[in-house]
Amino acid sequence: GGAAGSYTEQIRFRLRGHLDGKLLAEAWQDVVQRHQGLRARFVATPRGQVVQAILRRADTCIETVDLSARPPGKRSIQVVRLLEPWRNNAFDLARGPLFCLQAIRIGANETLLSWSCHHILIDGWCIGLLWRDLFTAYRARRDARPAWTGPAPTLETYFRRLGRTDT
């Protein structure tokens, strides 16, 4: 239920320096394959109970747009036009994907990254983890080396860590 966009989160930040769109898309696919939650769908059983299903492989949503040649005023308007549909998106929990990464080049060496997703996917713990893994995978692809030496942290790992800390 809920209105379109009512369960959508949109996290944005700017990167300075050269960003290779092809490497970014490949790295993002690596992150999706690494983290089960990004391959999750939520489907109803015949009895109407909603269960989480993890796909073995899931394609990702990534949009790359280059606005760097546009005049600054027109560029700002276009950025808003590109971000707004995802901010107001009603993600289909059963069909997915439940997120989309946008890389919008806004200058010769400046890119706006925006990750829009259904809030069921994220919390404060995983946001930093996903961004870290994205940049780790990007650097690994750029340098032609493996990105990770072990499995992705799990939610159980997070809960165990919380249990060891004073809150």
The pLDDT tens digits for 136-161 are 999 999 999 999 888 887 666 666 76
131 alpha-carbon distance from chain centroid: 8
Question: Considering the entire predicted model, what is its pTM?
Answer: 0.83
> Do you know the residue count of the chain?
167
The burial class, CB within 10 Å (0-12 / 13-18 / 19+), for 73 is: exposed
Q: Is residue 166 scored above 70 in pLDDT?
A: no
